Every structure is written in structure tokens, then in C-alpha cells.
Structure 1
Amino acid sequence: MKHTHPLPGDIGLTQISGITGRLIRLGQWINGDGFADYQHAFLVLPDDRLLEAQPGGARIQPLSAYDGSSVLYVCPEGLTEQQRTALCAAATAYVGVPYSFLDYLAIAAHRFHLPLPGLRRYVASTRHMICSQLVDQVYQDADIHLFADGRWPGYVTPMALYNQLAH
């Protein structure tokens, strides 16, 4: 479900400009998630705050950081207040979690069935996450599973979130 007024527990999807945004778009396209305009995901928290993964580590910041940006807010159909509360409670455990551009390569290696022993264990064990992995993990910690397609935990891009929730 998509909407314009964000509620705690919603997922914000937005663009990243410059070379970083272009590289993420390319990575998402290689991973089969499309070549569209959402390269970043974050989780809306109470009190007009958000949790997002950043190269310096996951952080909580004001939602106003995206004022003036084009943001699409999505969430699963029928998300309850109790689930939203659980999401926000789970989110705080991820402050400081390091970012990893290498996870885009790991996701691509999995997509192309490259024989890399230990790949799944590596992605799960590093505690490094890209923005969409962070959002998906918070949802899983709140016992809400966004994907039922058999994907490995952590194998999610911003466009995968868009494709799952915005249509």
C-alpha cells in the first residue's frame, strides 16, 4: 500500500543523486529489481524521526531531512498499530550497524547462481547492511515478513521493496 502521509512503521523510498545513486540503480538492475528511481529506503519512527542505513552506520535522524525530496511511503496492507509499535521498538537495536556496498555484489552473485560457498552465511554474519536490508530485518524482527518468495534473508534492494509494496 502506498500513501503520502507517513506513519511510524512505514517505509520511505527515495532517490539518491550523483554517482552513488547511479551505481545503486545499476546494482538493482543487475539484481533483477528494475531500473527505476528508488535507490534508498528508510523506516519511519514516532516523533517525526526515521532510521536509515548510511555509509557511516545506521542512524536515527529527523524525518525533515527529506523535506523537499520526492519520497514514496509504503507499507504492507493491514499493518496494525501493534505491529507498527513492534517495528519501532525493534528499530533502535540497529543504530550504528555498518553499511556495506559489497552486499549488492553478494545479492547479484546469488541471483546469478555463482558457486560461492558460504555466501549466505557471509551476508547473514557480517552485520553490515544496505538500507533495504536494514528495513527488511527490522520487519522480520517484528515478525512481519515482507517477502514470501523464498529469498534468503538480507537479499532485498530498495526496488524489491517498491515492487513488493507499491503496486
Structure 2
Amino acid sequence: MTPETLGDPAGSDEVDLIVAAWRREAPQLDVEPLEVLSRVARLARHLDRLRRDAFSAHELETWEFDVLAALRRAGAPHELSPGQLLVETLVTSGTMTNRVDRLVRRGLVDRRPDPDDGRSVRVRLTVAGAAVVDAALADLVDAEHRMLDVLGREERRALATLLRRVSAPFEG
């Protein structure tokens, strides 16, 4: 079946050509997963570019947005321990220390003593950090809405459900 026979208004794409070539050159292999996962991989590259553009408009790197967004999502007072930030951003402690240092120098976060543990600190979003992450998030969400405009609301919900099911075995 082709996208046209399924009523897909998008028609054929590069993945269809790749899959057809593999079916021709390696007919002994079931390459059906490529039809989904190659599109997911290509879409991920497009999404990475879209996000980098949204963040760079606010002079943020992707990793900076990730840290600031984790603090913003934490709710008032918008602070987390470095260990909590590690869990939220999936990086090592050495990497997180470096990232927090850089964000402190930019005035986007500050470190405060942990009131419950004098040996530890809390990382808190500053007013400037909250302003920049909120603006970057607004631009990101707007761009992602445009990206998904080709789908109706129910299609987006169905796609989210299917992607959740496929990614569940890899989630912590």
C-alpha cells in the first residue's frame, strides 16, 4: 500500500523511497519498522532544529532551557536541589555543576543554602531566569503548534497515546 491508497494527503516521502529500496535490495528482511521509526528519527531532527531556533531567539542553549524549565516547572519558589536537577535533566553531577555555574554567571539562577541540610544547596530560578524561560517556552509552544497543525485535535491525541505506548519501556 502507498500513502495515496491510504488517503494520505501528504503523499510519498523520503522514507517511502528508502523502504522501497530496502524491500528491493533485501527482500528477506521485514523493514516495516523503518516506516515508523525512520519518520520518528527524521521528525526528531526537525524538532531539534525548531527548538534550537526558539531558544536561540532568547539567547539560550537547549541545555540552559532544560535546566531553567525544570526549575520553573517545580513551582514556587522555583528551586530544586542539584540532585533533583540531575533527575530532571538526565546529566551527570559534574555536568550539572558546570551548567549551574554558567547559569549563575548569567544571572538566571542562584544558589542558596538548603534550610534542611547545611551541607547542601538549592538552585533557584531568578526573576531574569523566569522571564527568559517563560518567553522561550511561549515561542516553543507556538512553533510546536504550527508543526502539528497538519493534524486535528483527535489525531494529535491518538498520536500522543501511541508514542507514549512505544516509549514506555524506555522510561524510568
What TM-score, normalized by structure 1, do the two folds share?
Answer: 0.25
Whose RCO is larger (CA < 8 A, sep 6+)?
1
| Structure holding more strand per residue | 1
Q: Which has the higher helix share?
A: 2
TM-score, structure 2 length as denominator?
Answer: 0.24
- Rg larger in 1 or in 2? 2
